[in-house]
């Protein structure tokens, strides 16, 4: 078996493992949280700043509705429910009042960012569960690949990463050195941004621009710092799809006012996690152009730098040798 076949098999196995972890994790969460929809994604701004657009939310079934807390922020429980009169329109709003009727509890709900309560009270039979935690903005990725353009863009990135040896051939005289781990630091800025968004969802736009600029710098430094280009590409690809695509989508919401609720012709404030493609709207087409505006500079910087290094173009290749301490190692030997 040649090296190219081994490489493809390794990438395929990694992809299968990731899919298995996703579905296995979903199964475990369904059992643990007692609901068929333990994870959803917030697609509107009705609960900002308590829940940010694009947030993954974790939902726990409610066994006893007597224990549901009703009140204004932050006291009332945040409920996920089917809008009364609709079969597939999920809403995530806070319970601000509850009343015990003949058929059970009925809740008055309201989005924290809405001026008025919801017009129709919600019977307990419509309630899926209550929100128990969140991961900021990462849910954008699962929404992005529901669109045809988003799916094709991610597929393009994967193809480039898997077949880069054919697209970006490496010179046979390239020298190995030491991986400079400091090159990962620009990518860690976005992780710190996610932590800050978890603590303070209202600070999104400003610090997300910082993460974007740091990513551009990382796209320049990382390909110069790795000996194993496979590892560099995987670090870059996973960081791009898991972190930078959500950040770009969130910047679209902050700069253009286009939320995922406007990407498709649907209603509601939250969406279950599925892999089904849905038809996008003209608003999404405008958002997609802005997403490309944010992502393409980093993509071009990374791939161009990687190509220049693998082709041994100076001064890029000489800089890579210095960063990887190749000259120092040769002198010591």
Residue ranges of the domains in the chain? 1-33, 56-135, 144-332
DSSP type of residue 67 = G
Mean pLDDT of 63-77: 95
pLDDT at residue 36, rounded to an integer: 84
Picking from 46, 141, 140, the residue whose alpha carbon sits closest to that of residue 92 is 46
pTM above 0.75, yes or no: yes
Least confident range of 131-145, 168-182, 272-286: 168-182
Instruction: Answer positive or negative: Cα dihedral of 11, 13, 19, 21.
Output: negative
Angle at 146 between CA 258 and CA 274, to 5 degrees: 120
Provide the 3-class DSSP secondary structure of residue 2: coil
| Model confidence at 321: pLDDT above 50 | yes
Average pLDDT, the chain: 86
Q: Which residues contact 122 (CB under 8 A, 6 or more apart)?
A: 79, 81, 84, 106, 107, 108, 109
pLDDT greater at residue 168 or residue 54? 54
Mean pLDDT of 238-257: 94
Under the banding of pLDDT at 50, 70 and 90, the label for residue 18 is low
Least confident range of 19-28, 139-148, 187-196, 265-274: 265-274
CB 38 within 8 A of CB 61: no
């Amino acid at each position: 078996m040649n090296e190219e076949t081994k490489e493809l098999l390794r990438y395929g196995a990694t992809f299968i493992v990731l899919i298995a972890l996703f579905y296995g994790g979903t199964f475990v969460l369904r059992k643990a949280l007692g609901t068929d929809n333990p994870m959803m994604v917030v697609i509107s701004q009705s609960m900002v700043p308590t829940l940010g657009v694009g947030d993954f939310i974790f939902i726990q079934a409610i066994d006893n509705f007597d224990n549901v807390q009703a009140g204004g922020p932050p006291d009332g429980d945040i409920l996920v429910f089917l809008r009364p009169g609709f079969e597939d329109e999920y809403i995530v709003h806070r319970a601000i009042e509850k009343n015990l009727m003949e058929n059970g509890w009925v809740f008055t709900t309201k989005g924290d960012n809405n001026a008025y309560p919801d017009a129709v009270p919600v019977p307990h039979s419509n309630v899926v569960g209550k929100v128990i935690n969140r991961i900021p903005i990462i849910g954008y990725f699962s929404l992005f690949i529901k669109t045809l353009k988003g799916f094709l863009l991610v597929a393009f990135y994967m193809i480039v990463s898997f077949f880069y040896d054919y697209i970006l051939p490496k010179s046979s005289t390239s020298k190995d050195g030491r991986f400079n781990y400091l090159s990962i630091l620009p990518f860690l800025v976005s992780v710190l941004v996610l932590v800050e968004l978890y603590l303070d969802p209202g600070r999104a736009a400003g610090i997300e621009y910082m993460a974007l600029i740091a990513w551009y710098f990382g796209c320049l430094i990382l390909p110069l710092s790795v000996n194993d280009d496979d590892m560099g590409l995987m670090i870059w690809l996973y960081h791009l799809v898991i972190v930078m695509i959500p950040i770009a989508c969130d910047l679209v919401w902050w700069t253009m006012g286009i939320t995922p609720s406007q990407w498709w012709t649907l209603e509601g404030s939250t969406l279950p996690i599925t892999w089904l493609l849905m038809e996008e709207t003209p608003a999404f087409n405008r958002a997609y152009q802005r997403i490309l505006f944010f992502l393409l500079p980093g993509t071009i910087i990374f791939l161009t730098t990687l190509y220049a290094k693998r082709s041994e173009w100076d001064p890029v290749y000489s800089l890579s040798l210095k960063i990887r301490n190749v000259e120092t190692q040769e002198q010591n030997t």
